[in-house]
């Protein structure tokens, strides 16, 4: 069977259950399971999604109801197919702060079916204070989480590994992931919004792992701000695992992610006023406290003298980052071209220019070719696309 192209975003949160009960406190109220599935199909144009709050009891009941109604269908190779078009990979994000960690670490586990998800949720539920909420701290070592995931034929990925506050390299370890994790039980590494392949490959112990780029969406609009293009023989759980391992014709064809300068933690900033700082006190407010940027942290850890062969990392700028692209213009683009994936990848330049005028059409085309300029973000504030000067 020949492999076909599929777009995948594997880190999407649920904000509320169908009854309105909070799951991800900082998530939008509209971010329900069914709304995520609908938005993945249209307007986003995604083919696979990982929803990482599927452990929640009410969410599991919603999945079962959709299965009973025939809206979701369990695939033989794992994963749940929504309306014949979008594959749901059910997962869970959790926080670990065990005796081996210098700070809290966020971890992702995914499962092929409801049975495996249910068994893991039962194990997890007895080790957290509130199983109804997202990303709870687990009373277990990170290696035990890995082992339990693998016992249930799951997939394990450390999340946004360079984020300053709650991640593997941000706070969790001093130098090496082996301080916290079993290196043989990692299926992939999630880079996060403030790093890319070239930056992460400065760390030699990461060379053995595939990189994934996901949105960590807390609202419907943020879905697919990062994603990957996969070549899969079939779009299910097994196919995804094979792509991460490069088995057969299955592989990651490309990572699409923010230019790291657009991320919230690229630059080291003052922890008080959030202005960029280097050594010494903040020149703006005098504070000695700082939030170390991802770029600085990676340079601290850098030890590699060569880089492995990787899929291309394409600096993708989400449409809502582009100056002048508001809700009305977005609506007009979607009414003409259907999905964001079409606008970002497939629509010919001539068709784009017939719907939106310069300079916006030029900005969309420049983001395809990597021709945009940026002002770097940091300290929890996103970077921005610079408006080009009129020619």
Query: Could you report the average pLDDT of every consecutive run of 10 residues in the chain (391 residues)?
Result: 92 98 97 98 96 98 98 98 98 97 98 98 97 98 98 98 95 97 98 97 98 98 96 97 97 94 94 90 93 96 95 89 90 95 91 91 85 87 78 47
- Provide the 10 A C-beta neighbour count for residue 336: 15
Contacts of 134 (CB under 8 A, 6+ apart): 13, 14, 23, 24, 25, 27, 52, 53, 56, 93
pLDDT score for 371: 80
Q: Where are the alpha helices (DSSP H) in the chain?
A: 33-39, 57-69, 114-125, 142-151, 197-200, 237-245, 294-301, 327-337, 340-341, 349-355, 360-369
pTM: 0.94
Give Cα 307 distance to the centre of its chain.
23
pLDDT in tens, 189-215: 999 999 999 999 999 999 999 999 999
What pLDDT score does 139 carry? 97
């Amino acid at each position: 069977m020949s492999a076909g192209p599929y777009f995948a975003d594997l880190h999407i949160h649920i904000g509320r259950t169908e009854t309105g009960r909070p799951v991800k406190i900082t998530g939008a109220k509209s971010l329900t399971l069914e709304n995520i599935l609908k938005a993945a199909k249209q307007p986003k144009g995604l083919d696979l999604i990982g929803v990482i709050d599927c452990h929640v009891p009410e969410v599991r009941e919603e999945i079962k109801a959709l299965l009973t109604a025939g809206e979701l269908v369990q695939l033989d190779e794992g994963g749940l197919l929504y309306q014949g078009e979008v594959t749901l990979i059910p997962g869970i994000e959790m926080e670990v702060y065990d005796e081996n960690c210098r700070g809290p670490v966020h971890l992702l586990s995914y499962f092929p079916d409801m049975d495996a998800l249910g068994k893991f949720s039962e194990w997890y539920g007895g080790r957290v204070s509130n199983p109804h909420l997202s990303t709870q701290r687990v009373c277990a070592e990170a290696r035990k989480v890995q082992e339990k995931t693998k016992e249930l034929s799951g997939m394990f990925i450390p999340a946004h590994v360079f984020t300053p506050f709650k991640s593997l390299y941000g706070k969790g370890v001093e130098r090496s992931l082996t301080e916290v994790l079993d290196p043989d039980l990692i299926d992939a590494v999630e880079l996060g919004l403030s790093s890319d392949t070239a930056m992460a490959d400065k760390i030699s112990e990461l060379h053995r792992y595939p990189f994934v780029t996901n949105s960590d969406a807390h609202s419907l609009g943020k879905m697919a701000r990062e994603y990957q293009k996969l070549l899969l023989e079939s779009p299910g759980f097994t196919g995804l695992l094979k792509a991460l391992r490069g088995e057969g014709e299955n592989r990651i064809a490309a990572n699409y992610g923010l230019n790291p300068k657009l991320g919230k933690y690229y630059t080291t900033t003052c922890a008080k006023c959030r202005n960029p700082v280097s050594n010494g006190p903040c020149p703006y407010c005098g504070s000695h406290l700082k939030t170390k940027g991802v770029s600085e942290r990676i340079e601290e850890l850098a030890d590699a003298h060569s880089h492995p062969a990787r899929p291309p990392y394409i600096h993708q700028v989400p449409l809502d980052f582009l100056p002048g692209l508001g809700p009305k213009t977005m609506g007009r683009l979607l009414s003409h071209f259907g999905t964001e994936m079409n606008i970002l990848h497939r629509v010919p330049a001539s068709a784009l220019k017939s719907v939106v005028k310069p300079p916006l059409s030029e900005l969309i085309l420049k983001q395809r070719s990597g021709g945009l300029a940026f002002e770097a973000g940091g300290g929890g504030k996103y970077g921005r696309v610079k408006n080009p000067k009129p020619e």
